[in-house]
Structure 1
């Protein structure tokens, strides 16, 4: 997919930051993501995975809509959460999309109150997201995209089980998993909620 097919504010923000054409990875996956395909995207560091996430989410959601989030992105920790939010804030200028970060170091009750006010994109650590969800602090019924960034962290501290709980609680959704390498434990997801997912391996 060329950048001609993305919304104008995003195109301008990319251009402003020196990005005028999709790189090789983005050329291969962006149109599939736009079409709603669930995927495991396996590519090395610096291949453009994070930028692909940001472009795809902004282009698909376009603007603020209702109060419940439509995109959920799992990350490993607070630092990754804030870093990804900063990238979103750079490229969503000109839209009114709302981005919210949920991580352990923040006050739980305050997070629930802030989420109640409405957001479009939630970037969260798995444990904090599940705590908020089971306290009825977030509505996932409108979720369109569920994404894992740098998925290697899933195999530490029971994160795989934490993330696996989310599809059990939501309806139909597009799932995108970005990782440096494919792990055999992903086979469980292919056997359940990602059984029609493509595996895109990029070198």
Structure 2
């Protein structure tokens, strides 16, 4: 039998990028294009509208930036010729950093604009002249409506993380943007998941798009191992963190995700007290400079633990993250994929751990449907102290379980109702000598004022 010849290895040279970009790619340490880059770069270079469905950590940012930088080529005029829309300021900052890395040998001018800080400095930079603008939709429209941003020179529009933009309610702003930019342009849309609603957006936004789907929608990165621990309450989750973080050689650089700002602060304070290494926390209430400094410190290795809410689950592109720990289960199920995509980036191996209470197991099962796999479960280590569930926390979990059961079965009365009924079953009313019957409360129609 004749042996089949191995397929030739594709290199960045094959994309006919200019020398400035190839040198920047080499400096960044990229050697072989990822699958999404191999499929997407030639189509964008050829001028097609492209819809790309690709997981975070697969190299999709460079997949659209390299052909975009090739197209824009050099500094020209005052007004932006390309706009990249991002759902969060963290992702906008990350895209800006990627442009800085890849455009280092060009004279291209670029800027990221986002909320959380005043627009004055951003407007001043825009007026100096721009080639590429990265923006969150709200800040873009705010500056445009002030008359400080001219969009008539726009040739390329990129929507990055389009699914997240829809989840966050940005569609009205996106439609407003589409109304004020030139109709003749190249459109690129990227998403990690394929919402049914995204098909509608694609129909009105893209013209005869070429669709690239590198991985099935909402599939975790293959280089990330996953494990689930069922844990009864928040205090036991914290005890589990203390147990895990004793292994300093394994848990070297860790991102911990929580569902709320309150839990983020609680987890950060506990880890700071109980584990070796610096901790930083980022969430919506933190100032922009605080969040930037926290990310930079984590990226540099100065900080071992970064605690974040889902506002930061996209936009954290940091190599060498050893573990992502989901202290709380996300209730927007696609966010699980984005959370764990913070580790195992650029084909490196990573690990994801998720903690779930009894009430959160419902969300685990829904996530498993989305990712089309069961998350491997392991028993809680015997060394971990199991804390008693606080009354208020137990009540909240019981109510949440009731809600889940009612959604599944409209006739379900609720655990509290069943418990009350059960307590009265077979009990004899001493006054009547008959089985106890629950009576409806008597309405008090009024009262007499005491005459004194």
Establish whether TM, by shorter chain, passes 0.5: yes
Distance 1:175 1:165 in 2: 16
- Give the aligned length: 203
1:47 counterpart (58, 61, 71): 58
User: 1:191 is paired with a residue of what secondary structure?
Assistant: helix
User: What residue in structure 1 maps to residue 136 of structure 2?
Assistant: 125
2:204 pairs with 1:163:
no
1:3 counterpart (9, 12, 19): 12
User: 1:176 is paired with a residue of what secondary structure?
Assistant: strand
Pairing 1:126-141 to 2, within 5 Å after superposition: 126-141=137-152
Q: CA deviation at 1:128?
A: 0.5
User: What residue in structure 2 maps to residue 176 of structure 1?
Assistant: 188
Distance 1:44 1:82 in 2: 19
5+ long unaligned stretches in structure 2 = 1-9, 216-452
Distance 1:187 1:161 in 2: 16
Distance 2:117 2:128 in 1: 17
2:198 pairs with 1:189:
no
Q: CA deviation at 1:109?
A: 3.1
2:123 pairs with 1:112:
yes
Distance 2:202 2:161 in 1: 18
Q: CA deviation at 1:14?
A: 0.6
Distance 2:135 2:185 in 1: 17
Runs of 4 or more consecutive aligned structure 1 residues displaced over 3 Å after TM superposition: none
User: 2:84 is paired with a residue of what secondary structure?
Assistant: strand
Q: Write the deviation string for residues 108-142 of structure 1: whole angstroms up to 9, x where unpaired.
A: 23322321111111111110001111221111111
1:82 counterpart (87, 93, 107): 93
> Highest relative contact order (Cα 8 Å, sep 6+), 1 or 2?
1
Q: Would the alpha carbon gap of residues 66 and 191 (structure 1) be closer, same or farther in structure 2, given more than 3 Å must change?
A: same
User: 1:72 is paired with a residue of what secondary structure?
Assistant: strand
User: What residue in structure 1 maps to residue 161 of structure 2?
Assistant: 150
Pairing 1:9-88 to 2, within 5 Å after superposition: 9-88=20-99
5+ long unaligned stretches in structure 1 = none
User: 2:63 is paired with a residue of what secondary structure?
Assistant: helix
Q: Is 2:163–2:198's contact at 8 Å kept on the other side of the alignment?
A: no
Task: Please report the TM-score for the alignment, with normalisation by the length of structure 2.
Answer: 0.43
Q: Is 1:69–1:140's contact at 8 Å kept on the other side of the alignment?
A: yes
User: What residue in structure 1 maps to residue 252 of structure 2?
Assistant: none
- Determine which structure has more spread, i.e. the larger CA radius of gyration: 2
User: What residue in structure 1 maps to residue 271 of structure 2?
Assistant: none
Q: CA deviation at 1:11?
A: 0.2
Q: Is 2:44–2:64's contact at 8 Å kept on the other side of the alignment?
A: no
User: 2:133 is paired with a residue of what secondary structure?
Assistant: strand
User: What residue in structure 1 maps to residue 211 of structure 2?
Assistant: 199
Q: RMSD over aligned Cα, in angstroms?
A: 1.6
Q: CA deviation at 1:166?
A: 1.6
Q: Is 2:24–2:104's contact at 8 Å kept on the other side of the alignment?
A: yes
Q: Is 2:47–2:186's contact at 8 Å kept on the other side of the alignment?
A: yes
Q: CA deviation at 1:42?
A: 0.4
Q: CA deviation at 1:2?
A: 4.9
